[in-house]
A = this chain, B = another copy of it.
Amino acid sequence: METIAIIGTGLIGRAWATVFARAGHPVRLFDAAPGAADKALGLIREGLSELRAAQLVDEAPDTIAARISAATTLQDAVRDAGYVQENTSEREDIKRQVFSDLDAAAPPDCILASSTSTIQTSRFAGHVPGRHRCLVAHPVNPPHIVPIVELSPAPFTAPEVVERTRALHEKVGQVPILVKKEIEGFILNRLQAALLLEAWHLVDEGYVSTEDLDKTIRDGLGLRWAFMGPFETIDLNAPGGISDYADRFGEKLHGMMQGTQYRRWEGDLVARVEAERRKLMPQSEHAEREAWRDRRLMALVAHKRAQDKGHR
């Protein structure tokens, strides 16, 4: 099992450490903030207990946590690594420097991956001698529960590096997808943005309340999307499959959405949506509700696994 180095031990870094350690990999943590990596170890152990309670890991939390250790320098963390997952601040200048340091310190065949959600590989790794081994591996928060990972290489990333990264993520139980050409927002955040812009627009124009809009997804579309994607959904929604669906509904859906100008989320609109949300959930319950979300996500992932085993 190759060693995995985790650079930056915030929420995402800790979740990645959990992903690789529970799959059996030795994990080395580094964070530039003194003491952060040591503190992360304790938080990771807590998270492992929650995963255990949700029956999402088979081993005892201590067994898994014993594979993770803190390093005091970046160089020490990556010295023996086969794969690095970087999770530092979402700033291009910082990532450029970190990738210079990583490229100088890591073994020649070690892969250097970034968790960035907004900065394309070309922008943070183009200047690095070993840029062929750099790419984005963008998770959804928190990656130890939600399995999707978007792999977004630059044109200079070696295909073999992409393939090894894909294989590694599949092996540890994530679901990697390939972003074939660089694009702002990758795939996931573009899909989310498309839906969000329409959602805010419908509330802005007075067609629906934020609460009812949320119900439309969580008691409607979201039920299908939890185990089928949008293409499989519409493929099954017309007797003749997806081309039949395109024939029946394509022109109508296309026409219906033409010409809408989405305005920015600002001023009175934000205040109104904020007020509607605060009636449903006081800000004082934010942290508690986040924990609820993660418990629900864990339970849903466990449910999906059981279903996948039972009947495909």
Contacts and interface: CB of A to CB of B under 8 A. Distances in A.
Chain B CB within 10 A, most for which of A197, A222, A301, A307: A222
Contacts of A229: 210, 213-218, 222
Interface centre among A147, A220, A299, by most B CB within 10 Å? A220
A227 B218 contact: yes
Interface of A: 118, 140-141, 146-148, 150, 175, 177-181, 183-185, 187-199, 202, 205-210, 212-232, 234-237, 239-243, 246, 250-254, 256-257, 262, 264-266, 270-271, 273-274, 276-278, 280-281, 283, 286, 289-290, 292-293, 295-297, 299-301, 303, 307, 311-312
A224 to B, nearest CB: 7
Contacts of A235: 277, 281
Contact of A202 (B187, B197, B199, B264): B187
A209 B229 CA distance: 12
A165 to B, nearest CB: 14
B311 A295 contact: yes
A166 to B, nearest CB: 11
A180 to B, nearest CB: 6
B219 A222 contact: no
20 contacts: A118-B252, A146-B220, A146-B224, A148-B219, A178-B208, A188-B220, A190-B198, A191-B198, A191-B199, A213-B230, A214-B230, A218-B225, A222-B229, A226-B300, A232-B280, A235-B281, A239-B286, A243-B270, A246-B270, A292-B312
* Protomer copies: 2
A52 B70 CA distance: 52
The 6 closest A-B pairs by CB, nearest first: A214-B229, A222-B225, A148-B220, A226-B226, A177-B212, A194-B198
Nearest to A301: B223
Contact of A232 (B141, B175, B277, B283): B277
A277 B243 CA distance: 10
Contacts of A197: 194, 253-254, 257
A286 to B, nearest CB: 6
Contacts of A224: 146, 222, 293, 297
A228 B274 CA distance: 16
Given A194-B197, A195-B195, 9 more contacts: A147-B220, A179-B208, A184-B256, A191-B199, A218-B227, A218-B232, A222-B222, A225-B225, A228-B293
Nearest to A141: B237
Contact of A228 (B218, B241, B307): B218
